[in-house]
Amino acid sequence: MNSLAVSSFAKINFGLRVLGRRNDGFHDIVTVFQTVSLADQLIFTLDDDLRLECSDKSLPTDRGNLIIKAAESLQKMAGLKVGASIRLQKNIPSPGGLGGGSSNAAVTLLALNKIWKLGCVYEDLYKVAASLGSDVPFFLIGGTAIGTGRGTEIEPLPDIRSTPMVLVTPNISVSTAAAFRALNHIGLTTDSAESILLNCRFEAANADLERISLENDFEKPVFKAHPEIERVKQRLLELGASEAALSGSGATVYGSFENEETRQTAMKALGNESDWRSFAVAAISRREYREALKEVF
């Protein structure tokens, strides 16, 4: 196999609680990850060197891109010099809180493991993924899962019952570092980590997308810094979303709808917002995720 085409799915966060700052400078979090149908497309072809082309010219194609970092890290772990030509069709807003870069990195590990015939097992790829970024290990699994620690410790959960969803990304770039600084300033949660983790498991295991309502600690500081993002959430609720919340540190807000008719009406109304990108999406279960990526699993 000299060439491979793979989808790279986005994620949303059902809640995100920040528990405190770690000694390594990162923060301990608790979140529920969920893969959704919005996806980038990647094509990998064997080559002598590492090369990346991207449809979005605003994104870097050198080591500033997690795809190249992932490929180089895999090369180093395997002790080889074989390369690849990689083409990225970017559909997931970046940045947006949807994990597009992390998803790209994880898919790169899976795809290059295949075409380079490395035979790495999950534990090998997990170590590389965790070194690349907080969300990357989740995309080696997909579906519904709890993320703890820096977000790299992944606990798969039963797939959540899906309902029609809409993602809305306003034309705003939210700095995750600035969001954490603002959160540190206003004070982190005082709830116990064990209590939050139990609540996350219960909510995710006993709810569908219409009713899940886990708190995102980033909403308060991000909405204060960017009122337009708060307006997105309020607009989704006005248009009939049964639940709406910030994903990650933003700027994307997701809304869950009771039926397809209500979602279609909302999508039509959202089309009047020229500075917002709107996507009708569905949750991707772990089985569906592995089926879509069966060439690399």
Q: Is 135 a catalytic residue?
A: yes
> Domain for residue 191, yes or no?
yes
Shared-domain flag, residues 37 and 138 = yes
Instruction: Name the active-site residue from 135, 159, 217, 233.
Output: 135
Residues ≥6 apart with Cβ < 8 Å to 289: 9, 35, 141, 142, 143
Clarify whether residues 57 and 102 are in a common domain. yes
> What pLDDT does residue 209 have?
47
pLDDT of residue 1: 75
CB 93 within 8 A of CB 128: no
Do 154 and 169 fall into the same domain?
A: no
Residue 223, pLDDT above cutoff 70? yes
Most confident of 148-162, 205-219, 275-289: 275-289
Q: Are residues 86 and 127 in the same domain?
A: yes
pLDDT in tens, 267-276: 999 999 999 9
Mean pLDDT of the 277-294 span: 96
**Percent of the chain clearing pLDDT 70 (strictly above):** 88
Q: What is the pTM of this model?
A: 0.91
Mean pLDDT, to the nearest integer, of 246-268?
95
Q: Is 208 a catalytic residue?
A: no
The answer to whether residue 196 is domain-embedded is: yes
pLDDT value for 17: 85
Q: Which of 2-16, 24-38, 180-194 has the lowest mean pLDDT?
A: 180-194
Mean of all residue pLDDT scores within the chain? 89
Asked if residue 96 and residue 20 are part of one domain, the reply reads yes
DSSP the chain: --EEEEEEEEEEEEEEEEEEE-TTS-EEEEEEEEEEEEEEEEEEEEESSEEEEES-TTS--STTSHHHHHHHHHHHHHT---EEEEEEE--S-SSSSS-HHHHHHHHHHHHHHHHTT----HHHHHHHHHHH-TTGGGGGT-SEEEEETTTTEEEE-PPPBP--EEEEEES-PPPHHHHHHHHHHH----S-HHHHHHHHHHHHHH-BTTT----BTTHHHHHHH-HHHHHHHHHHHHTT-SEEEE-TTSS-EEEE-SSHHHHHHHHHHHTT-TTEEEEEE-B--HHHHHHHTTTT-
Q: What is the mean pLDDT of residues 222-245?
A: 96
Q: Are residues 195 and 96 in the same domain?
A: no
Q: Indicate the residue among 158, 182, 217 that finishes a domain.
A: 158
- pLDDT for the residue 212: 53
CATH no. for residue 110? Answer: 3.30.230.10
CA nearest to 116, candidates 161, 150, 70, 147: 70
Task: Please report, for the domain that includes residue 219, its CATH number.
Answer: 3.30.70.890
Q: Which residues, 6 or more positions from 206, have their beta carbon under 8 angstroms from its beta carbon? A: none
Location of structure tokens 């969803």: 165
> What's the rounded mean pLDDT across residues 162-180?
88
* Mean pLDDT, residues 77-83: 90
Asked if residue 149 and residue 176 are part of one domain, the reply reads no
pLDDT tens figures, 112-161: 999 999 999 999 999 999 999 889 999 999 999 989 888 889 999 888 87
**pLDDT of 274:** 92
Q: Is 131 within the bounds of a domain?
A: yes
**pLDDT tens digits along 89-108:** 999 998 889 999 999 999 99
Report if residue 289 sits inside a domain.
no
65 and 118 together in one domain? yes
Q: Of 158, 175, 209, which marks where a domain is finished?
A: 158
Establish if 288 belongs to a structural domain: no
> How many domains are there within the chain?
2
Domain that holds residue 256: 165-281
The stretch 185-208 carries a mean pLDDT of 57
- Residue 294: inside a domain: no
- What's the distance, CA 175 to chain centroid? 15
